[in-house]
Structure 1
């Protein structure tokens, strides 16, 4: 495959990333039908890109197909220019979201990374590489990785690898970590938060939890469709008094990444499964149904929640068509490491671990994700959104899906569902 780094390739990669997010949500939602869910589609897409950097032949083709990229060069250019340098660039210095992205690779001292692969990690993904002793000091090596993840995620994720379960057969670990903390453009007043309010569970029972509220007769970005509503809560882009991007410089402000949390709420209390099926029926569904206008709101309640989720991705990625990297007999992952004689080492991916955490409260959202492998604009195309009623209620007192989206690129940074906001898992 030849590299195509033009706009067409970038658009293809973006569509591929969106399709991957839909596929992941479909499978994650089915696998976590009894619990809360949060994951980072962009982190998993990055993991595939990192995997492709050391792959060849049929293995590379399989990775690119699942990632939705026309070539490795196109995928690398997209990740570098769209994801790392734009979507995940920190804007906290001007009052925007605090975003941190980190990428790292650890190789055993007896099998160093090839220079070309090391250069890709450092130059393309702005990452770092280390040499450790997995064979003789596996506990210490794994503790080093956990420390790196904790630093990258501002201690939201402190441990992803149990140091005492480290296999001495491990030769390499590649990981990426994403941290996001955004303040609502219109924060909630804590004085209006109400406790001990009912949230209805899928089994027909209910629990009591805290709901954030706004006073009646205000406006929110809400779209009403057949069977569900969508709420968009934008995060602050920049301080109003920022000398470069404040309100006085509207055009400059509009060039900044625009993050929002989008809540898809089914009308029926038990309607989440059907809504997820619709959300994942086409990759474009989510973006086509984001609210585009403010509407007057009556009863408005959204629960506070904090979720944590950890899972192996092997089975899910295999169900999406990624099989060769996990087969011990594969010969397509030889471009990463070399032995003492300078010859390539035959590798396969033993596991891909993903962990994500998110907290949503009156000020905004704080979230982090980690993926490790061994080895303000919206629109609708349908015209099916009826004129909103004079007053719209949005009461998220039953299971719903949520997304943190960067709208200028369409990147879905975090995704998940809330079945019980009183629980983390």
Structure 2
């Protein structure tokens, strides 16, 4: 959207996205696409799909400069549909692309009833990730244990276990576990992307929201608290889980400062589409995500779219073993380590529910 925004609408978008200019934003996205979102499946590493798409009504063609920037800088697919007269067909085309990009994890992102004669544009992006652990968990060791929810109830859920050394950092009030994914074979022309899942586990059963607030207040919190070495583990239990999430982001974006884009009287998206007609503005921004974690690895996908108008320690002193028992709510991140880009983030409240 920022590529087609002007004046104060552009300023607000850049502020929310943390970029200085359109060129700065385009460069950042292009760099991420070349590094953090590079598919390694053909060489044994994670499978990664990333794509942007812009669908416009056939009566409102995209401006050439916007189309070129979307395709070249954002690796976007663009196409015309008939939102006004054939909303069912338009929704079918949008959902078909989402299904393909997310390997069927997200079967649909938009309902025909959400489209109308007021819909001129739909902008969407999708990320799909499937990676195997560098050291998979032994399924025979998985067993059911109690998971303690925030309301005091408990659920029996399957926990993965491992007695090997792990990357764990112990901090005041919480611990951090980092699990690396299997890396693809490297070639001279291939970016050296490396992916991991980071689990932030509060010590207290009810400590999730305090930990989330700490993370949210400091943009560098994740990097500052990651493990730097492996440790001997004592009790080590991490639950299997599969989460599905869907929400509207419009109010959140407005609270962050993106206000004019949602106001038909103030929005300036004049660099997006050609032709006469009502000025474009944002109607909704919606987000859907799915992530599954098991003994073999992680499979995850999300879609966001907007409608517009080592061995034992040496010596005789054996280091203490560290327990990591994620039997209560925790925060997780899936990220690419070289760039620091976060692909997925969330919290697990109850692993027994999707």
Same fold flag (TM > 0.5):
yes
How many pairs align? Answer: 345
Report the counterpart of residue 166 of structure 2 in structure 1.
220
Q: Which runs of 5+ in 1 are unaligned?
A: 1-50, 246-251, 376-387
Residues 54/254 of structure 1: CA separation in 2 closer, same or farther (3 Å cut): closer
Shift, 1:320, TM fit: 0.8
Q: How far, CA to CA, are the matches of 2:329 and 2:101 in structure 1?
A: 31
Q: TM-score, normalised by structure 2?
A: 0.94
Report the counterpart of residue 140 of structure 1 in structure 2.
89
Report the counterpart of residue 46 of structure 1 in structure 2.
none
Q: How far, CA to CA, are the matches of 2:182 and 2:8 in structure 1?
A: 44
1:314 aligns with 2:263: no
Q: How far, CA to CA, are the matches of 2:109 and 2:223 in structure 1?
A: 32
What are the Cα deviations for residues 185-243 of structure 1, in whole angstroms up to 9, with x where unaligned? 01001111112x100011111011111111x3x200000011100000001112xxx4x
Q: Which runs of 5+ in 2 are unaligned?
A: 309-317
Report the counterpart of residue 156 of structure 2 in structure 1.
208
What are the Cα deviations for residues 11-64 of structure 1, in whole angstroms up to 9, with x where unaligned? xxxxxxxxxxxxxxxxxxxxxxxxxxxxxxxxxxxxxxxx10000101101100
What are the Cα deviations for residues 153-207 of structure 1, in whole angstroms up to 9, with x where unaligned? 1111011111234222100101111100011001001111112x10001111101
What are the Cα deviations for residues 81-102 of structure 1, in whole angstroms up to 9, with x where unaligned? x211111111111111100011
1:79 aligns with 2:25: no
Report the counterpart of residue 362 of structure 1 in structure 2.
295
What are the Cα deviations for residues 363-418 of structure 1, in whole angstroms up to 9, with x where unaligned? 1000001010112xxxxxxxxxxxx9610010000000000111111111100000
Report the counterpart of residue 126 of structure 2 in structure 1.
177
**What RMSD in Å do the two structures reach over aligned CA positions?**
1.6
Within the candidate set 196, 214, 219, 1:278 is matched to 214
Q: How far, CA to CA, are the matches of 2:80 and 2:232 in structure 1?
A: 58
Q: Any runs of at least 4 consecutive aligned residues in structure 1 with deviations exceeding 3 A, and if so which?
A: 252-255
Which stretch of structure 1 is more off in the superposition, 221-230 or 115-124? 115-124
Report the counterpart of residue 269 of structure 1 in structure 2.
205
Q: How far, CA to CA, are the matches of 1:231 and 1:52 in structure 2?
A: 36
Report the counterpart of residue 54 of structure 1 in structure 2.
4
Higher strand share: 2
Q: Is the 8 A contact 2:34 2:191 kept in 1?
A: no
Report the counterpart of residue 61 of structure 2 in structure 1.
112
Higher helix share: 1
